[in-house]
Amino acid sequence: MTQTIDKNVLIITYHMIPNTKYWAASQRMYILAEQLMDNCDSVKVLHANYGFHGFFGKTPSFSMQAIDIKPSFFQKSQEHNQQIFSVSSEECKKIRLLDKIIPLVKKLFGGLHSFLEKTVYNDWSSGIYVRLWCIQAWPVVKKIIDNDNISHVIISGPYFTTFSIGEKIKSRNSNIKLVLDYRDPWNFLPSGSSLFSRYKEKRYLNIADKVTVFSETMQSDIVDKYCIPKEKVIAMYNGYDKTSWSELDSNHHSYFDFPCAIKGKKKMVVSYISSNISLDDDFRDVTNLLKALSAVKTPSIIELNLVGVNNIDDFRGVNLLNPKINLIERVPHKTSLEILLQSDVVIVLSTEDKPSLYTVTGKLFDCIKSGAFVLGISNDSNIEYNKIINKYGLGSTVSNELDQLVHTFNSLICLWQQNDMKLPRNDNIPDIFSRQYQNKKLIEYIKGN
């Protein structure tokens, strides 16, 4: 009889609820951990502490442990950067002190800090913080590995400085299977990188047993750049969460307590949902979109939902009546899914002059799941989400140029009037873009190794 080997998994990730306000930065490892609980003997998540922010309606079934940074000054500074307000009077005094100290420190050491971050870490200006955190996390990692008989360790970046823990793990116990997970690129962004940070990345990739990345383009590029075997790298998209979609009520619009367009009401409903919508934004500027919708042949036939507006007062000079524009601040994730379901056209947008071609926002996959016509807007047709939209026939793509946007929306209006917006796509396509489907690629590896 073949002896069964225990599968005990340790996940190391800097952001994890309830000790962060960033659910978006937590969900890749959160959903994977929940899925691993059904396929492994045990799962534990080790993460940083930004103070308590809540569970975002989630109920984790896996074990979690938060680690503080030392010296405590850096821990307080990190919490301060997330603007924690529900604190004691004593903590308020410390925060007020930080308000005075941090600008002074930045003024004195800002240049040195920027230099170190770029050359040593290249890690979203947080490399020093994360390095200090790794020092505190390492003794805890050793203890967990020994006490829990850990067979697999998954380290997720950003922040990529955490990958250094993987090198220590392998030096101590080469039998442990090490997986490095990329939620974002490290040294592949247009802003460039340093020789030293690229050297570190190559070294960490070589010692890893498996590498998971967020897209097929990233998979191809990391294999080519670092000359590693293609079979070592798994592309796992940050797809939609099947659990969140399954919780939706059939009477979707019953949750709306704000002006919001619902399809089937004699209007072509267009929705754009983002975490921070503002005018004149370098990355996701809706100015051309608004101009284009007002310039189509029949603007009165369109109703636009802008969900995630940062400051509604910024839109005072915008004509909100023709087409009708509903300005909506941030809403719960469940409500955003309901709005997508009530849309005829959903938009994925990037307006940078030279965008990162790896851009494939997680909202794309919720848009795909909704069944609506997906319109990708970008200044580079080779951006990742455009490739996916075109490859699978999910809608269309267009440049963020006013005349092209007007032409595209005029065409969509004609299709909508002819009741011909139903896309001839394979019914199985939405399923393959769920996180649960994507995670199976890594889970099968863990179960077999």
Classified by CATH at the fold level, domain 8-238+437-448 comes out as: Rossmann fold (3.40.50)
% of the chain beyond a pLDDT of 90: 67
pLDDT tens sequence across 162-182:
999 999 999 999 999 999 999
pLDDT band at 1 (very low <50, low <70, confident <90, very high): very low
Phi-psi label, residue 260: left if phi above 0, alpha if psi -120 to 50, beta otherwise = beta
Residues near 193 by beta carbon (within 8 Å), at least 6 away in sequence: 122, 186, 187
Asked which of 112-116, 228-232, 382-386, 443-447 is least confident by mean pLDDT, the reply is: 112-116
Looking at residue 79, its pLDDT comes to 72
State the pLDDT at residue 84.
46
Of 399 and 74, the one with more pLDDT: 399
In terms of Cβ atoms closer than 10 Å to its own Cβ (0-12, 13-18, 19+), residue 190 is exposed
Residue intervals of the chain classified under CATH 3.40.50.2000 are 8-238+437-448, 245-432
pLDDT band at 155 (very low <50, low <70, confident <90, very high): very high
pLDDT at 260: 86
pTM, 2 dp: 0.88
- CATH-assigned architecture of domain 245-432: 3-Layer(aba) Sandwich (3.40)
Convert the pLDDT of each residue in 388-404 to its tens digit. Answer: 999 999 999 999 999 99
DSSP 146-169: HHTT--EEEEEESSGGGGHHHHHH
pLDDT at 276: 87
Residue 271 has pLDDT above 70, yes or no: yes
Is the pLDDT score of 158 beyond 80?
yes
Supply the mean pLDDT for the chain: 88
Mind listing the pLDDT tens digit for each residue in 81-101? 666 444 444 555 555 555 566
User: Which pLDDT score is estimated for 372?
Assistant: 94
pLDDT band at 332 (very low <50, low <70, confident <90, very high): confident
Q: For 76, phi and psi rounded to 5 degrees?
A: -65, -35
What are the beta bridge partners of residue 325? 304
At residue 3 the predicted structure's pLDDT band, cuts being 50, 70 and 90, is: very low
Q: Which amino acid is at 212?
A: T
**Confidence grade of residue 386 (pLDDT, cut at 50, 70, 90):** very high
